[in-house]
Structure 1
Amino acid sequence: MKAQRGHAALLTSTALLLVGTLLLPGQAEAGPRRHREAALHGGTGQGDTGHGAMLPDPADLEPGDGARAAMSRLVAEPGSVLDAYAPTSGGGGGLWPDAGPGPMLAATGDALPTGSVSTGRAGAAGPVAPAAAPVASPAGPDPLAYGPASPDLPLLDATTLQHAIEAWVGPEPLRGLRSIPAAVADEKRFDARAAVRDFYAARGFAPLWIVDGGFDGAARSALARIDHAAEDGLDLRATPVTVPHGGDPAALATAELSLTEAVVDYARQASGGRVDPARIGPSVAVRPEVAGPAKVLAALRDAADAGEALRGFNPPHRGYLLLRAKLAEMRRGADMAERGPIPAGPALKPGMTDARVPLVRARFGLDIAAAGGDGLVYDTRVASAVADYQRAHGLPASGVLTARTVASLSGGQPKRLEDEIIANMERWRWLPRDLGARYVAVNIPDYSLDVFEGDRLVHHARVVVGKPDHETPVFSETMKFIIVNPYWNVPLSIVNKEMMPKLAANPNYFEDHGYEVVQRNGETYVRQPPGDSNALGRIKFMFPNKFSVYLHDTNARSYFGREDRALSHGCVRVDQPFKLAEAVLGRDRGWSEARVESMVGGAERTVNLPRPVQVHMNYFTAFVDETGQLRLRDDIYGYSAKVRAALGLVG
């Protein structure tokens, strides 16, 4: 825009110069030369008043044919006229070249006497010509009216944007009304908008997205990512973006704020702010680091690609990305799934062929092309997906496509599976973005434990988790040491609910079952000494937490053979515990499975980990396995149903 105004000003100046110059050739040949020489040398040629002023003859002001032609050319071809006065290559830094006469004199073809005027070079000066008397404007239209008109685009100035932001933020609400959900929501909304206001205030209320009356490249990149928010299971319908199409500054301010609000909302949802985990249950103790407005806007302001920076607020974890890809795959197959219910027919077992199989594949997002042929074979991959579905929906998990399974699948199941995937993607947002170089991940509904180095799986084991009325909590902590030959300090809740009634019936209950009663700081505790009958087994893995929950061996190893393993009081019992010890202590640090197991027997022994290991207690009822297949698990604590409800995915 500055360039446009500068171009117009240059045309204006050129027009005036040409008018002043080209009017002169319309006079008698002797007249103009005599007048110019008198002006340059201070002489008193014809018309000299004796005071150095020169009054032209009125007839001299009539424009000649040359002047009219030049003016017509200026209007029709302004660029070619300006080119005649452009600096030559190698010229100085000013508008005109350092050497040679000025443009007006060059246009007349008259050379100046040597040393009569300044050449324009730094430090070079000559006698200055006396000022000529003002010359009356020629009759007729203003020559500037013929210049090319280019009205400025509307600008979004700082004052207009500041007023719009202040109105958008509004007055501060009453605080302290924590028992009123609407009041709490008002507080959060005000605080978020106030943070946006502070961000803009720090930059002098300069627009972040609007340039020359429209969205700039960063804005368009961010808007493209917002348009694809559903790919990450996000819902931005509450923050629509107003795209500017010219308009006045107030309209541009509205567009600026609408995009700012949308990107802040996207990042808030993507980083875990859509569902408060505390609302799911008291045993869900994760607290995601939700991105605040200032962090979001600063990140996008400094990013080379604002859209990719915005996308980066989503989880980077492989498990999340696999679910995201599976969601897209299922949506691509939704057109087939929505053709109608799966027809009734005979029960299908692996190896059988049936025309309904492609419909079943579409329900689970299985690629028909990958099956080969026409996709009519009910193969083991389809049967496995059916078994997972049956298990998650209270049906016998046989993998056989029974009449009950067909009836269940025909009830809008693709949408239900999408919702379940989105609910699990949401729970990935609760995890730290950095899981650790080496970490332990327990998936409670899958009854499994995995040890990873980066994305590489180094150990897998079955686990037993808490009963539905004794949930294993969901949280992340740091494992710092292990204990071999551990004591079991019986939780007070177990003593009161389970042991005291037995003690009332048998005063020797503790002694008969090998428990010790100890006094510590005026408190009475019950503990079980190390040994084969110890409930913790021979080793436990410690990551101090407020739930007093940890990983440990068990003396009831038969439980690992069960399919449903929600059987403990909340702690996680681990199969193959000494292999886990090797994985977390590090074979490269000299800690083999055999070495750890050789420590069994005798007194309690503590081994500090050479390097701390992160432990993540997760709750995923849907995940993609190493073969790319979607796996479903029972919602044993009801957490997934609560997340779906909080996301508005129920109904």
Structure 2
Amino acid sequence: MRNRFELLTGTILALTFALPPGASAQSPSVRQAPPPAPFQFGTREHVLPPPNAAIIRREPAHETPRSPMRDSAREAQASVPAPETPSAAPAAAPAPVPAPAPAAVAPPSADKGPINSMLDRVFGASDAQITEKLKEIAAARRMDSLLPREADRKAAEAFYKARNYAPIWIKDGGLTPRAKAAITRLGNAGADALDPAEYPVPSFNGGAHELAEDDIKLTSALLHYARHLQTGRIAPTRVSVEVDYGIKPPEPMDYLRRLADASDIDATLESFNPPHAGFKALKKQLAALKANASADEDTGRIPNGPAVQPGQKDPRVPALRAKLGVAGKDGDLTYDKALVAAVNRVQAKADIKGKGILDDKAVALINGPKPSQMIHTIEANMERWRWLPRELGRTYVMVNVPDFTLKVVKDNEIVWRTKIVSGKPETPTPLTSASMQTIVVNPSWYVPQSIIQNELLPQYDRDPKIFERMGLEVKRGPDGNINVVQPPGAANALGHIKFNFPNKYQVYLHDTPEKRLFAHERRAFSHGCMRVEDPTKFGEVMLSLAMAGPTPDSRTLLAMYGKEEKTYTLQQQPRVHLTYQTAYVDDAGKLVIREDLYGFDQRIRTILNSDERKIADVPPPLDKQREAALTTAKSNQEILRRVERGTASNPLQFFERLFR
């Protein structure tokens, strides 16, 4: 009896000394601490420079700023909750401490903060005792509350059972080296453009029951983190129904096997990130911005002020000269012709016709985005890189919609590039990946259902000759559907050549008779398809890369242009990736920022700044817009079938009757 009393007394004393000063096992200050604030994206305060604008350069910095992502990283490196009791609520997320978030994962330090103290803690329960508690938790189906995602829970239950419920992260009375490295990595999730607060680290304190639960909690956090590293925090279709790369994350069991067996878990977790050079370059830029950006974001920026006309004086002129690299006399405050010309050039790159007036809009273009805005933009782009296929292909075409460019890549080298025209904001170019299967010379244009519904039929009410004037024909296709078709020719909307990569959005790359549009810097003019500035050369390049033997060059293709349709079926079928890169690192290693043309960056920030973030990585139901589009197509087919049946001699008579 005495031995039992001494054992009980010793246990109570051990638990008492394990608590922080002034706290008890049920202390509200510890047990019910509020969770860290969610990562907050900022809002854009000005229009970002569109394509061909001056490359954004980082300004000299003196102090590391506090950004929401840095704050989240601090929170993950924070104090660990006090010991739990079996009846206590789950441990709260760590409280913040003033520690900077490094750009790369650093090895744990033995003398820096409570997290590191926890990493080296010696537990009061044996591995066998923890194993028994894991069995009890599984038998009582208490994993449901510890692994809220069903797929994760089923995988974890099977994984623990297969190892006879031995803990994954605990061995010989302490955390395994693998667990310590994983916890350190979770605290540095901000370097991956993720939020550490979404992957809470358990306290690993208390008795066998608490330690068993914490082993499961760390498993849950790592599954969540690994999935976000690989496929992102947001299901693409939550951003827009026009975004779908068809990528699905691996099964949780695959993650568990790789993580539990990893000899270098940090390297294993890093391998879940996209392997693409574009992603890695942005990650480096993100680290540099977070480490080097000035605490005062207005340092070196031109302040707003009254509009300045050419020839007027203004105290901002010296700073403006320095910013634009325009020489002038010391102390001269005159907004002279040289400065006016420089400001006009900046506006021209934004596709704005400059009048020489220095107003707040011109100042915003000259300044470019603030460091915090660049951080948000980079993070949104790193998220979108996670949506792309891991294997882009040995040879592929990459379209950057907001950059209005296309490049052809072979063996990781850019072999050709050109300008494109992208979709308007109201008719955006979708983001997807597909294989280029055919190149058609002198193609027919099958008018999309949306254009029939939204443009042709309403225009016909005002202009009964529109079908005839455009050379449109109503005919039945090989699939049995009725189509409105524009036959090959110089006036064809697709021009002389078309590049097919079948996809559910029914978009493609093609020539255009409207060459004048390529003179614009902001080239968002299409209904969603992409018009290529030099389609003949593009055809030569793609045929040479995707076909064996001699293939037509540009001169041969030009000679073929006319009214006779010819189709080349590609043997290699290179992939085409339609991307939305509002931030990228160019060939010279400079960070380039583009306009958020379709608001996708803002949409990502909105999701992550709302309750929707809790379910953001789960795809939403079929979008109502997509259902409406299908309904429109069916409605058009009914109309066009009546045209075919009742007015074969003159298809337009039906529309004439329809609109009378």
Same fold by TM-score, threshold 0.5 exceeded? yes
Kindly indicate whether the alpha-carbon contact (under 8 Å) linking 1:552 and 1:577 is maintained by their aligned counterparts in 2. Answer: yes
Q: 1:448 aligns with which of 392, 405, 409?
A: 405
Is the Cα contact below 8 Å between 1:225 and 1:308 reproduced in 2?
no
CA distance in 2, matches of 1:395, 1:341: 24
AA in 1 matched with 2:591: L
Give secondary structure in 1 for the equivalent of 2:223.
helix
Question: 2: distance between equivalents of 1:494 and 1:343?
Answer: 45
The answer to whether the aligner puts 1:575 opposite 2:533 as a matched pair is yes
Return the offset for 1:335: 4.0
CA distance in 1 between counterparts of 2:603 and 2:352 reads: 22
Matched with 1:198 is: 158
**Match of 1:627?**
588
CA displacement at 1:287 relative to structure 2: 3.6
1:601 aligns with 562
Q: Tell me by how many angstroms 1:273 deviates.
A: 4.0
Q: Deviations over 1:544-600 (max 9, x none)?
A: 112111111111111111112111111111111122222222257422333443432
What's the counterpart of residue 35 of structure 2?
none
Closer, same or farther: CA 282–537 of 1 in aligned 2, 3 Å: same
Shift of 1:234: 0.9
> In the TM superposition, what whole-angstrom CA distance separates every residue of 1:262-282 from its partner, at most 9, and x where no partner exists?
211211111124112111122
Q: Which amino acid aligns with 1:562?
A: H
Which blocks of at least 5 consecutive residues in structure 2 are unaligned? 1-122, 304-315, 329-341, 612-660
In 2, distance between residues paired with 1:542 and 1:216?
A: 53
Deviation at 1:261, TM superposition (A): 1.8
How much does 1:442 deviate?
0.8
Of residues 576, 599, 605, the one that matches 1:638 is 599
2:132 aligns with 159
Does the Cα contact within 8 Å between 2:432 and 2:579 map onto a contact in 1?
yes
CA contact (8 A) 1:323 1:623 kept: yes
Partner Cα distance (1:273, 1:471) in 2? 22
Q: Answer with 224-233 or 186-195: which moved more.
A: 186-195
Q: Deviations over 1:378-414 (max 9, x none)?
A: xxxxx99x969995xx998999997667679999932
Distance 2:582 2:417 in 1: 18
Match of 2:541, as an amino acid? A
Cα distance in 1, alignment partners of residues 425 and 569 from structure 2: 33
Relative to structure 1, is the Cα distance of residues 569 and 398 closer, same or farther in structure 2, using a 3 angstrom cutoff?
same
Q: Does the C-alpha gap of structure 1 residues 313 and 167 become closer, same or farther in structure 2, counting only changes over 3 Å?
A: farther
CA distance in 2 between counterparts of 1:405 and 1:564 reads 17
Q: Does 2:484 align with 1:526? A: yes
- The question of whether the paired residues in 2 share the 8 Å contact of 1:424 and 1:620 is answered with yes
Q: For structure 1, which segment, 422-431 or 483-492, has the greater mean C-alpha deviation from structure 2 after superposition? A: 483-492
Report the secondary structure of 1:617's partner residue.
strand
Structure 1 640/339 Cα, relative in aligned 2: closer, same or farther at 3 Å?
closer
Kindly indicate whether the alpha-carbon contact (under 8 Å) linking 2:349 and 2:521 is maintained by their aligned counterparts in 1.
no
Q: Does 1:548 align with 2:506?
A: yes
Q: Give the whole-Å Cα distance in 1 for the aligned partners of 2:597 and 2:140.
A: 48
Matches within 5 A, 1:39-78: none
Alpha-carbon shift at residue 171 of structure 1 (Å): 5.3
Residue deviations 1:47-84, cap 9 Å, x none? xxxxxxxxxxxxxxxxxxxxxxxxxxxxxxxxxxxxxx
Aligned equivalent of 2:436, options 479, 487, 491:
479
How far apart are the structure 2 equivalents of 1:291 and 1:540? Answer: 36
- Please name the residue that 1:93 is paired with: none
Letter in 2 for 1:511: E
**Cα distance in 1 for residues equivalent to 2:467 and 2:186:** 63
**Alignment-mate amino acid for residue 351 of structure 1:** G
Residues 166 and 616 (structure 1), Cα distance of their counterparts in 2 relative to 1, 3 Å cut: farther
Q: Residues 493 and 152 of structure 1: is their aligned pair in 2 closer, same or farther, counting only changes over 3 Å?
A: closer
Q: Give the partner amino acid of 2:288.
A: E
The question of whether the paired residues in 1 share the 8 Å contact of 2:297 and 2:370 is answered with no
Q: Give the CA deviation at 1:472.
A: 0.9
1:445 shift after superposition: 0.7
Instruction: Quote the residue 2:643 is aligned against.
Output: none
Structure 1 partner of 2:244: 285
Give unpaired runs (5+ residues) of structure 1: 1-150, 173-185, 355-382
Cα offset for 1:649?
A: 9.2
Secondary structure, aligned partner of 2:127: coil
Larger Rg computed on CA atoms: 1
Q: Indicate yes or no: 2:176 matched with 1:216.
A: yes
2:215 paired with 1:256 = yes
Match 1:461 to one of 381, 396, 418 = 418
Report the residue type matching 1:570 in the other structure. Answer: G
Contact 2:133 2:209 in 1 (8 A): yes
Contact 1:271 1:289 (8 Å CA) reproduced: no
Asked if structure 2 preserves the Cα contact closer than 8 Å seen for 1:475 and 1:618, the reply is yes
Cα 1:473–1:397 change in 2 (3 A) is farther
Alignment of 1:607-618 (within 5 A): 607-618=568-579
Contact preservation (8 Å) 1:483, 1:539 = yes
Q: Deviation of residue 197 (structure 1)?
A: 1.7
Residues 155-554 of structure 1 correspond to what in structure 2 (within 5 A)? 155-156=127-128, 157-165=130-138, 169-170=142-143, 189-242=149-202, 244=204, 248-337=207-296, 342=301, 344=303, 345-346=316-317, 347-348=320-321, 349-352=323-326, 413-520=370-477, 523-554=481-512
Q: Cα 1:267–1:589, aligned 2, differ >3 Å: closer, same or farther?
A: farther
| Alignment deviations for residues 140-195 of structure 1 (CA, whole Å, 9 cap, x no partner) | xxxxxxxxxxx9972244321233456685559xxxxxxxxxxxxx9962332232
Contact 1:169 1:190 in 2 (8 A): no
Judged with a 3 Å threshold, the aligned counterparts in structure 2 of structure 1 residues 165 and 580 are, in CA distance, closer, same or farther, namely farther
Q: CA deviation at 1:208?
A: 1.6
What displacement does 1:644 show?
1.5
Looking at structure 2, the residues matched to 519 and 445 of structure 1 have their Cα atoms a distance apart, in angstroms, of 36
RMSD: 3.6
Q: Distance in 2 between matches of 1:461 and 1:336?
A: 39
Match of 1:40 in 2: none
Q: What secondary structure does 1:461 align onto? A: strand
Indicate if the aligned counterparts of 1:388 and 1:633 stay in contact, CA closer than 8 A.
no
Q: Helix, strand or coil: the match of 1:200?
A: helix
Q: Is the 8 A contact 1:476 1:614 kept in 2?
A: yes
User: Are the aligned partners of 1:390 and 1:399 in contact in 2 as well (CA < 8 Å)?
Assistant: no
1:504-550 deviation line (CA, Å, top 9, x unaligned): 45544433332222234765422111111111011111111121111
SS of residue in 1 equivalent to 2:391: coil
Structure 1 406/211 Cα, relative in aligned 2: closer, same or farther at 3 Å?
Answer: farther
Deviations 1:197-253 (A, max 9, x none): 2221222212222110112222223223223211111113133223547x5322331
Aligned partners of 1:335, 1:614: CA distance in 2, in Å?
41
Q: Report if the CA contact (8 A) 2:439-2:497 is conserved.
A: yes
Q: Which amino acid is 2:419 matched to?
A: R
Using the alignment, how far apart are the partners of 2:161 and 2:349 within structure 1?
Answer: 57
Is the CA contact (8 Å cut-off) linking 1:166 and 1:197 kept in structure 2? no
Instruction: Give the whole-Å Cα distance in 1 for the aligned partners of 2:290 and 2:266.
Output: 23
TM-score (norm 1): 0.63
Q: Is the 8 A contact 2:427 2:528 kept in 1?
A: yes
For each residue in 1:101-129, what CA deviation from the matched residue of structure 2 results, as whole angstroms up to 9, or x when unmatched?
A: xxxxxxxxxxxxxxxxxxxxxxxxxxxxx
**Paired residues of 1:213 and 1:244 also in contact (CA < 8 A):** no
Aligned length: 457
Q: 1:260 to 1:561 in 2, by over 3 A?
A: same
Post-superposition offset of 1:449: 0.7
Describe the SS at the equivalent of 2:242: coil
Deviation at 1:465, TM superposition (A): 1.2
Percent of residue pairs identical: 38
Query: Using the alignment, how far apart are the partners of 2:356 and 2:583 within structure 1?
Result: 17
